[in-house]
Amino acid sequence: MPAPVARTSARELAYGRVRDDIIGGRFAPGALLSENELAVALGLSRQPVREALLLIAQEGLVEVRPQSGTYVTRIDPDRVREAQFIREAIELASLGACAQPSADEERMLRDLIRRQRGARDRDAFYPLDEEFHRALLGLAGHANAWAAVSAAKGHLDRARYVGMSATRAVQDYVDDHERVVDALAHGDADAAIAALRAHLRFVFADLEAVQAQHPELFAGPAPARTGRASRR
């Protein structure tokens, strides 16, 4: 018989798995999530699953309806816009505080890009994308700020994830990352910020296209763009 899993770690496991499945579209908007079925699938008791669903509800990714159940919400364009504002504010300010990366730091970023080039699909690419953006924050000594970004961006991640398959190839995102690293390596912080801003804001073009194709995934109209983003 396997050793019991500690309550906190069990909740974190359930939270990570269910949240990832919502963001990745494996649990579609409107789907009813059964605590019992999730607990069996994850090999956990119902209590940590229930706790995880309450945490996910705080992010607006599920709605807990008394006497009915827990349902996956539709992508909320207003939350996409708000998360984009938070992400830009933190990531762009942090990038502006970066010094030119050391040889070891540049090697680490280039290795991440090399691994991203080898990603066959969005499922393989997505965690590497997260790792890249965390690494950029870490270069400026702001690694802990990722928690604030991550907590705010559930709906944004859902929109980005759908866009990866519907409107842009994975390698387009890798090209964006490479432009950021090239600018940093040349000591051009302004160019790095411009490249990162364009990369982050492309979600709005993705969102418009995806929402036109799949309106059933969304709770309302696409958000207005926060500014013009040009591709370099």
pLDDT in tens, 172-223: 999 999 999 999 999 999 999 999 999 998 877 777 788 888 888 998 665 5
Q: What burial class does residue 20 get, using C-beta atoms within 10 Å of its C-beta: 0-12 exposed, 13-18 middle, 19+ buried?
A: middle
CATH of the domain at 162: 1.20.120.530
The pLDDT score that the predictor gives to residue 17 is 96
Domain tally, the chain: 2
The pLDDT score that the predictor gives to residue 168 is 76
| Mean pLDDT to the nearest integer, 158-176 | 83
Regarding whether 187 and 95 lie in a shared domain, the answer is: yes
Residue 212 to residues 47, 167, 228, Cα–Cα distance (Å):
39, 11, 20
Last residue within a domain, chosen from 72, 98, 127: 72
Regarding whether 179 and 157 lie in a shared domain, the answer is: yes
- Tell me whether residue 57 is in a domain: yes
| Choice between 222 and 138, residue whose per-residue pLDDT is larger | 138
Residue 211 to residues 60, 188, 197, Cα–Cα distance (Å):
19, 36, 22
Q: Which of 217, 222, 189 is nearest to 205 (CA)?
A: 222
Query: Which domain covers residue 152, as residue numbers?
Result: 77-217
pLDDT class for 167, splitting at 50, 70, 90?
A: low
% of the chain surpassing 90 pLDDT: 69
| Choice between 96 and 2, residue whose per-residue pLDDT is larger | 96
Regarding whether 62 and 102 lie in a shared domain, the answer is: no
Return the half-sphere exposure (C-beta side, CA atoms, 13 A cut-off) of residue 138.
11
Return d(Cα 135, Cα 116) in angstroms, integer. 14
- Tell me whether residue 131 is in a domain: yes
- Per-residue pLDDT reduced to its tens digit, 15-24: 999 999 999 9
The pLDDT score that the predictor gives to residue 224 is 54
| Mean pLDDT to the nearest integer, 28-38 | 96
117, 171 Cβ separation under 8 angstroms: yes
- Tell me whether residue 163 is in a domain: yes
Residue 50 neighbours by CB under 8 Å, 6+ apart: 35
30, 74 Cβ separation under 8 angstroms: yes
| Mean pLDDT to the nearest integer, 146-155 | 91
pLDDT class for 230, splitting at 50, 70, 90?
A: very low
CATH of the domain at 41: 1.10.10.10
Q: What burial class does residue 123 get, using C-beta atoms within 10 Å of its C-beta: 0-12 exposed, 13-18 middle, 19+ buried?
A: middle
33 DSSP β-pair partners: 70
The pLDDT score that the predictor gives to residue 2 is 47
